[in-house]
A and B are shown apart, each in its own frame.
Chain A
Amino acid sequence: MFDFLDSGQYDLLGAFWVTAKLALYSAIGSLIWGTALAAMRVSPVPLMRGFGTTYVNLVRNTPLTVVIVACSFGLDQTLGITLGADRSEDIGFRLAILGLIAYTGTFVCEALRSGINTVPAGQAEAARALGLSFFQVLTLVVLPQAFRAAVAPLANVLIALTKNTTVAAAIGAAEAALLMREMIENEADALFAVFAVFAFGFIVLTLPTGLFFGWAAKRLAVKR
């Protein structure tokens, strides 16, 4: 039933490696972008708050496929922005990361904001009373505690991100879902075996993420 794996025709590991790289780079990028968005949403500057709120509500409510395809058609094919890549595969890979960061950043921002809400107002007041600037209060006192409280919801976001990388197939990034499409066409008689292989591959990627973050959430929790 699983003979197609031995044929040497499909680079399964290679495809999942691309998926893993997509997920990893997008995760790093969206953590940074999401933190910046959260900082904007709690900042005292009305313009930044307005931008943060508008961006999050706009992008969060747009289907990921639309965001990713817009990156490909809008940036690459219309404006010629390829992020320094030449081969179409690489262009797809890089633009997919850009789209995933733009999209996942909004969820990271909201997870972080819920974490910020668990930090008692007195913590920021005490920090301000010491003479720390807004940026210092945020980075030294509020965000470190917010991140610890947000570990569990952030795990959800990162698991969803890992699975969302499959949308990158739509713009030709050579990741697992693209290979799956090819295998479904070629191995129609072993359809469910193909599904099982890919489902298993994603579980291998996401299950440890969830377990690790569950452990980290307990370990890092701030005692009050």
Chain B
Amino acid sequence: MSGESVSKSVPRGPEDTPRATDDLVVLSGVNKHFGALHVLQDIDLTISRGEVVVVIGPSGSGKSTLCRTINRLESVDSGTITIDGKPLPAEGRELARLRSDVGMVFQSFNLFAHKTVLENVMLGQIKVRKTEKKAAEEKARALLDRVGVGTQADKYPAQLSGGQQQRVAIARALAMGPKVMLFDEPTSALDPEMINEVLEVMQQLARDGMTMVVVTHEMGFARSAANRVVFMADGRIVEQATPEEFFSNPRSDRAKDFLSKILHH
């Protein structure tokens, strides 16, 4: 499961550019413990520019933790993580700068409750990117239109449905012009009828060439939008393959067992 074999299985990417510039996110030998629980065990994962990687697996397998280590919301015990060739700094200004290039969408939306939808999307632009207020507002409104909540701009998050809130959260992350977007179970807290509106936005993003890491239970999304499926269990990457290969012909018993439980009912 080295970075070498991973990048060979990537279907996209120009052949003639050197590999080093093609790899956007590289995790190597990453280990993490929560107390006695070894939640990430020797994780090696390489994500290329423009690639959409879907991480699936049973709960407690470490997939959310994996997603959160990529912008260091969780620290790691050993191993290295690089983003666009730069190793992830431990803390301080450097870390903040790097995080601003990594968009994150949470399961529980986490929109700033005391700010309007528009202010939520403007905050990072103004305070981190130092964008002019007027330009920030223009960009925010354009992004809100793009995710289909432009008419809600002046409301507070609590006044929106879960699906609308999550789309605002996506717009907030996009406003920073991120190199890669991380989605940590973005539809798990949503009512069933709102899941599709969020998935559609994500699918559009994938088509536009955004590099994405998506932790999800939505197998339909994995099939239709992913370049690669990463299957995790018990803190390890057990298997990774293209969606067609993984869903029709899983190699490991663990993956077969998992798929048999979720696909037949």
Contacts and interface: CB of A to CB of B under 8 A. Distances in A.
B114 A145 contact: yes
Q: What's the interface size class on B, roughly?
A: 20 to 34
B231 interface: no
A223 B263 CA distance: 38
Interface stretch (B8-16, B120-128, B235-243): B120-128
B92 to A, nearest CB: 8
Contacts of A148: 114
B113 A145 contact: yes
A181 interface: no
Interface in B182-240: none
B106 A131 contact: no
A131 B97 contact: yes
Interface string A71-86: 0000000000000000
Contacts of A144: 114
A119 B110 CA distance: 11
A187 interface: no
Interface residues of A, number: 22
B73 A128 contact: yes
Interface in A30-61: 44
A88 interface: no
A224 B128 contact: no
Contact of B158 (A126, A132, A224): A224
Interface in B50-107: 71, 73, 91, 93, 96-104, 106
Given A140-B123, A224-B158, A126 B96 contact: no
B156 interface: yes
Given A125-B106, A128-B73, A129-B99, A222 B127 contact: no
A12 B93 CA distance: 56
Contacts of B71: 129
B43 interface: no
Contacts of A128: 73, 96, 99
Contact of A131 (B96, B110, B112): B96
B96 A132 contact: yes
Interface string B110-141: 11111000000001100110000000000000
B34 to A, nearest CB: 15
A162 B90 CA distance: 46
B96 A122 contact: no
B158 A122 contact: no
B124 A130 contact: yes
B114 A131 contact: no
A224 B112 CA distance: 10
B39 interface: no
A126 B127 contact: no
Interface in A185-204: none
Contacts of A132: 96, 124, 127-128
A136 B106 contact: no
Contact of B128 (A120, A130, A141): A130
Contacts of A223: 113, 156, 158-159
A133 interface: yes
A117 interface: no
A127 interface: yes
Interface in A139-189: 140-141, 144-145, 148
B41 to A, nearest CB: 24
Interface of B: 71, 73, 91, 93, 96-104, 106, 108, 110-114, 123-124, 127-128, 156, 158-159, 169, 172-173, 176
16 contacts: A122-B106, A123-B112, A126-B112, A126-B172, A129-B99, A129-B102, A129-B104, A131-B97, A131-B99, A131-B100, A131-B176, A133-B96, A140-B123, A148-B114, A223-B113, A223-B159
Interface of A: 44, 120, 122-123, 125-133, 136, 140-141, 144-145, 148, 222-224
